[in-house]
Amino acid sequence: MFKKTIIITGAIFLLLIGSLFAIPYFFKDQIKAKIISAINQKVDAKVSFADADLSLFKNFPNANVTIEKLAIINKAPFEGDTLVSLGELNLKMSIKELFKGDNEPMNIDGISSKNGLINIIFNKDGIGNYDIAIKDDKPSTDDSKSKPLALNIKNYKIENFQFRYFDESSKIKMLIDSLNHEGTGDFAASKLDLDTKSTAKISLDMDKVNYMNHVAFTLDAVLGIDLENSKYTFKENKALINQLPLAFDGFIQIVDAGQEYDLKFKTPTSSFKNFLGVIPAAYAANLDNVKTTGDFSIVGFAKGLYSDTTVPKFNVEIASNNASFQYPDLPKSVQNIVIDAKIINQTGTLNDTYVNLDKLSFRIDQDVFNAKANIKNITENALVDAMLKGTINLANLSKAYPIKLDKPLSGILKADVTTKFDMQSVEKSQYQNIDNAGTMSLSGFKYTDENGKSMNISNAAIAFNPSRVNLKQFNASTGKSDLSVTGVLENFYGFLFRNQNLQGNFNLTSNQLSVDDFVTSENETPKTEANKTVSKNTNAKKTEAMKIPAFLDCTLTAKANTVLYDNLTLKNVSGKLTIKDEKLTMENVKTSIFGGSIGLNGDVSTKGKTPTFNMDLGLTELDIAQSFTQLDMLKKLAPIAGVVNGKINSTIKLKGNLDANELTPDLSTITGDLLGQFLSTTINSKNSALLTALSSNIKFLDPSKINLNNLKAAISFQDGKVNVKPFNIKYQDIQANIGGTHGFDQSMNYNIKLNVPAKYLGTDANNLISKLSASDAQKLESIPINAMLTGTFSKPKISTDLKTAATNLTNQLIQQQKTKLVNKGTSALTDLINKNKKAGDTTKTTVPATKVEAQEKAKEEVKSKASDLLNGLFNKKKKVVDTTKVK
């Protein structure tokens, strides 16, 4: 019996467990339908979600509905903007809610969500994107039409949310990041106490000016909620802004016109630690053992209506009097701290808000610093009136306050400046409306970054004039470089407050500048023994992609005695540099190098994805051996280093892409033209495999005797190929024409056309010529010879048509002699005929047969003599004549 009971109980239990797994599958579609119905009834927006799942285990004994990737996208006038995005939304309800009919609403007891975004936007017309509720001009009076979902929430929770707020008209932007919030209370009651806990990080910008940047905020509060009157009252609460404690009292009530505020807040204690608590923990360190004297307090209120046209009146007072603090591990303290600041609005109009910093003062050792400022008319055209005066020893900052620096600062900063300006004048560059006066100076400044690069400023001085800021002096050194700069900043405040480009004109002089001193590295790793084992595929040092700053709009007239760039030493560098729109334009840049000089005009742009350049270069009397060895571009264009000694004049026009890391030319992309002229040159053929091979194939050619003085050559280059326009040179009494192409990979395809006098074609040719008379030898034409150069400069392949040229010469000689002998034979025949004719016989007579025979005999003699002559010319043996034979 007992065994039977156990079996039945087990079966029931298994059936129950199986039901818990199976039920969600039966109700899943029903729940989806109710969610879709609830959304469609209320929302005029594009709503989507990936899926909706039901679980009876997640919040057992309650049911849990999970909606995945819920998104609400606005329609016009915010077409495409995301209003709400939720990674996960959980709805908790009683299991019995699953069994309600289609016309019965499901009661939701709890809500939770993770990884969400709420994005509130107000456009220029004051319309908000959150107003997506469906407008019903004729409210239904039919109570039989039931809502698909009903909210009877007792608890809710959101995790890792981001709340964005932007008002386009007032240019107020707020970001609440890493927002976590939860509340517990019975929303079924019309009045309840909601117990809440909140943490977040808050950033606030107003018209491009940042007032809060990721400020940590914590609030634990009990809110008294009156749902009938939409009134929320602060009861028990504790707030922290960073580590500054604040207590709230009062209420917020939602009314037809907006929200009604009546709030008061203050610091619950007046210790000066409250001030240090405002500073983010990353910069203020641990406050537990900090010794402080004096007080610090924040007291304020906000009372009135927040609506489309008004804000609550408010007053925030921040005060401290004769306070001090000292960190336990630091040798110095900050003394005589006085703070007197107010943020006030007395009218309820946002533009009437004003900020008064009546006094800010402190002392470290004997150095005292004072400041005050007044800002009003903040939303329409902010008016600023400020003063700075005092001295700060920068070395004492890290001795009195826990500033996180790898290397300590040093230097003396002095300021005595007053300024009055309005933001519209700054934005419109109406400098006549800006009133500046005073000076700032920095001396003995030294800073070393994490890579060991140091910057030393011996003296710097700035003078503030009504319309501009003058850089009177700036003397600095870093690494191998020294520089002295003076100049004018045209729109210092526009750059500082309005994100405008920094405009100015400067003069720079230097004894020596090393470009490496101004190139930063990313992930630069010190050279240690451990780094020697780094994989070949891992870069221990990665150079940061260089970019010309987009905010610079200035000119720089520069002069330097020496500039070190890569392995080059440039002397007497001067020129004008203009920086604008991420482009550096160079005008009349000149430098002495390689025994001559280089002039440069052109530009470099880093605005696009790939940096580009466009240059005109003028090379004057550059030493060929140095320039064509050390400049990789010249080496690729004309690989003559070590072969040609002397100097060169050249003009080069080229453009192409730059390497993004080092801003050096990408040779595979450059195109352009070069026109060069050799000066006082000699040739060292022993250093050239090409010339050695050429002289081996053309015996009569001695490359070392080729004269290139004043030779002009023109080349063009594109896609890694160099095209040399054919040019003429003279070697002794030989004329040559050279042209062709070669690649940056050193492959070549050149053609040399030579007009060679016959005497250079060897012993056989000279033996033939020696048989000729002097007058006939002079009549011989120069023989054209072609040489083809292929392969590479280091492994050349030479082919010539010398054999063909020799054959042509032989044919020319034979033809010349044939013509001569034929002419001679004709003359002999004429003489023979005239000899047989009787004197005075003027009548035509028939030549007797004996005379014809004599004529034929004479012709044979001519032929024989011509044959003997040709045989003699070509060194053939004469045949012995058989004189015994008679015709």
- Is pLDDT above 70 for 251? yes
Q: In which band, very low, low, confident or very high, does the pLDDT at 2 lie, cut at 50, 70 and 90?
A: very low
DSSP for 697-754 reads HSTT--GGG---TT-EEEEEEETTEEEEEEEEEEETTEEEEEEEEEETTSBEEEEEEE
Q: Which residue has the higher pLDDT, 548 or 725?
A: 725
Q: In which band, very low, low, confident or very high, does the pLDDT at 510 lie, cut at 50, 70 and 90?
A: very high
**101: which DSSP letter?**
-
248 and 222 share a domain?
A: no
Q: What is the pLDDT of residue 326?
A: 92
In a domain, 410, yes or no: no
Q: Say how far residue 570 (Cα) sits from the centre of its chain.
A: 27
Question: What are the tokens at 187?
Answer: 């929303």
Query: CA-CA distances (angstroms) from residue 27 to 639, 792, 803?
Result: 82, 80, 100
Position 236, amino acid: E
Please compute, for residue 724, the number of CA atoms within 13 A of its CA located in the half-sphere on the CB side: 22
194 and 297 share a domain?
A: no
Query: CA-CA distances (angstroms) from residue 367 to 215, 459, 476, 485?
Result: 30, 19, 25, 28
Instruction: Select from 382, 404, 426 the last residue of a domain.
Output: 404
| Angle at CA of residue 466, ends 460 and 469, nearest 5° | 25
Contact (Cβ atoms closer than 8 angstroms) between residue 414 and residue 435? no
Instruction: Select from 371, 404, 437 the last residue of a domain.
Output: 404
Q: What is the pLDDT of residue 880?
A: 43
Q: What is the pLDDT of residue 539?
A: 45
List the domain range (segments joined by +) for residue 127.
13-132+149-169
Q: In which band, very low, low, confident or very high, does the pLDDT at 879 lie, cut at 50, 70 and 90?
A: very low
- Is pLDDT above 80 for 405? no
Position 561, amino acid: N
Q: In which band, very low, low, confident or very high, does the pLDDT at 846 lie, cut at 50, 70 and 90?
A: very low
The string of pLDDT tens digits covering residues 759-790 is 776 666 666 666 666 666 665 667 788 888 88
Position 598, amino acid: I
Instruction: Select from 388, 404, 420 the last residue of a domain.
Output: 404
352 and 268 share a domain?
A: yes
In a domain, 267, yes or no: yes
Q: What is the pLDDT of residue 561?
A: 94
**What is the arithmetic mean of pLDDT over 539-550?**
60
378 and 286 share a domain?
A: yes
For the chain, the domain total comes to: 3
CA gyration radius, the chain? 49
Instruction: Give the closest residue to 578 by CA, choosing from 541, 607, 615, 603.
Output: 603
In a domain, 94, yes or no: yes
Distance CA 388, CA 415 (A): 6
- Is pLDDT above 70 for 455? yes
204 and 126 share a domain?
A: no
In a domain, 610, yes or no: no
Distance CA 71, CA 85 (A): 4
In a domain, 495, yes or no: no
- Is pLDDT above 70 for 11? no
Query: CA-CA distances (angstroms) from residue 17 to 6, 10, 30?
Result: 16, 11, 22
157 and 232 share a domain?
A: no
Q: Check whether the bond before 77 is cis (ω within 30° of 0).
A: yes
In a domain, 296, yes or no: yes
194 and 160 share a domain?
A: no
Distance CA 487, CA 554 (A): 10
In a domain, 448, yes or no: no
E strand or H helix at 399, and its extent? Answer: helix 394-400
In a domain, 570, yes or no: no
18 and 161 share a domain?
A: yes
Position 151, amino acid: L
227 and 316 share a domain?
A: no
The string of pLDDT tens digits covering residues 640-654 is 766 788 888 999 999
286 and 400 share a domain?
A: yes
- Is pLDDT above 60 for 147? no
Q: In which band, very low, low, confident or very high, does the pLDDT at 344 lie, cut at 50, 70 and 90?
A: very high
The string of pLDDT tens digits covering residues 298-315 is 999 999 998 888 999 999
153 and 223 share a domain?
A: no
Residue 111 CB neighbour total at 10 angstroms: 16
60 and 160 share a domain?
A: yes
Contact (Cβ atoms closer than 8 angstroms) between residue 505 and residue 540? no
What SS3 string covers 531-564? HHHCCCCCCCCEECCCCCCCCEEEEEEEEEEEEE
